A and B are shown apart, each in its own frame.
Chain A
Amino acid sequence: MATVETAAHSDTHKDTGGSWEGASQPFKASYGKLMMWYFLVSDAFTFAGFLIAYGALRFSMPTWPVPDFVFSTTPFNGHGLPLVFVTVMTFILLASSFTMVRAVQEGHEENKRGVVKWMIFTIIGGLMFLGCQAWEWNKLIGEEHMSITQNPFGTHTEAGVYLAGDGHYVNEGDTFKAGESYLVHKYDGEWAPLDYKVTEGSNAGMVKSQTLGPKAFGALFFFITGFHGFHVFSGVVIMLIVTINAATGLYSKRKNGYEMIEKVGLYWHFVDLVWVFVFLLFYLL
């Protein structure tokens, strides 16, 4: 790339530091920053692939687990609190985006201590989000027995009345309408679907049993949130490395306004952005 010609050429022109060996910076951005943007575009394609699969499968199914029912628990035995926990997770990630912005601003002021302080806050935010996601997965896999091949969250398609209770939230004689959700429990490794009698429609009077919900829900949920969680985890690792580097003074030597922090910031905001759309598609719609 750098032939003798261009080396001599750049001697006569003032090199602005990061001119990509040519006369000026393409798009007025450094190589690292531009390539981080394009990496994020490629990562967006990966997530879009998953979300396209989600959209196509979900809307082609007659029923789909209602998110307000599936995600209605919180730590410390909270239940009947739809979407509260995932909203807390969203706030944690938004707050960590704010602390990252502050870290970048401190970097522009060449303020090493400010950078390290705000980066540590961002790392803590990332770890809190991962902890919350781990709690959510443990609840779904360990207690509610959801996996990538089994989905115990179903939705009733007809109105009916339960013929037996499960000792938890469903009692014998409870009625339900079409569109209401249910969770099939598992005891000692065996599924325990409840029987119910249909009370309306063409099947009135028939006794039916709860069935497991669409399998795709489990697979899609764990793959998409897993991929996102993996990005959060790798972001935390990268931020740890970069924070330690900043603390040792490596970036102050470069005198580029802590551009490395800015590049990592782009990655972290991308992770937050993906969560905004996963949150929208999985939990709100």
Chain B
Amino acid sequence: MAHMTYEESKKSAFKIIIILAIITIVEVLFALLGKGYLKEGIEFSPVIMGGVMIIMSVVKAYLIIFEFMHMKYEAPGLAKSVLLPTLLLVWGVIAFSWEGSDWFQRRNLIKTSNEQPVKDTKVGSVYDPYEIKNIG
């Protein structure tokens, strides 16, 4: 740690690892609680679960990158040239998870639409899918 003395650096590293350990325990307990393993019947919505745990993991990532890996004390240009691509990657993972969920919803829509009874169609009506229009 650049601007601290040796003793201060040792204390700071120890403090940060304790914070990381506590955040990990809270994350795991929250995950188990939200799915009903610690107390029967409790269930948190996936949005809250996902949101809270992603935020906690981002805090852990911040502490590891900025303190353990020293990014806080590096030149701003170095920090930006490393962090900006990494943030884009995080966006990529979130975007594709959303995409996967969208695929699931579309497949479900097709499946339920296929199970609908066919509408009563008359030949020549606007609902007849096989009507071939006579083009002049």
Contacts and interface: CB of A to CB of B under 8 A. Distances in A.
Interface string B92-119: 1110111111011001000000000000
A45 B89 contact: yes
A101 B13 CA distance: 7
Contacts of B100: 55-60
Contacts of A132: none
Contacts of B64: 97, 269, 272-273, 276
B89 A44 contact: yes
B77 interface: yes
Contacts of A262: 70
B130 interface: no
Contact of A105 (B10, B49, B103): B10
Contacts of B103: 56, 59-60
B115 to A, nearest CB: 10
Contacts, number: 132
Residue of A44, A56, A97 with most chain B CB atoms under a 10 A cut-off: A56
A90 B57 CA distance: 12
A91 B37 contact: no
B82 A38 contact: yes
Interface in A18-54: 26-29, 34, 37-38, 40-41, 44-45, 48, 51-53
Interface residues of A, dominant DSSP: helix
Residue in A90, A100, A109, A280 with the greatest tally of chain B CB atoms within 10 Å: A280
B17 A97 contact: yes
Interface string B57-70: 10011001100111
B51 to A, nearest CB: 11
B42 interface: no
A191 interface: no
B14 interface: yes
Contacts of A91: 21, 24
Nearest to B90: A48
B82 A41 contact: yes
B104 A62 contact: yes
B19 to A, nearest CB: 10
A34 B78 contact: yes
A242 to B, nearest CB: 17
Contacts of A100: 68
B50 interface: yes
Contacts of A270: 69
A29 B74 contact: yes
A95 interface: yes
A83 interface: yes
A176 to B, nearest CB: 14
A90 B25 CA distance: 10
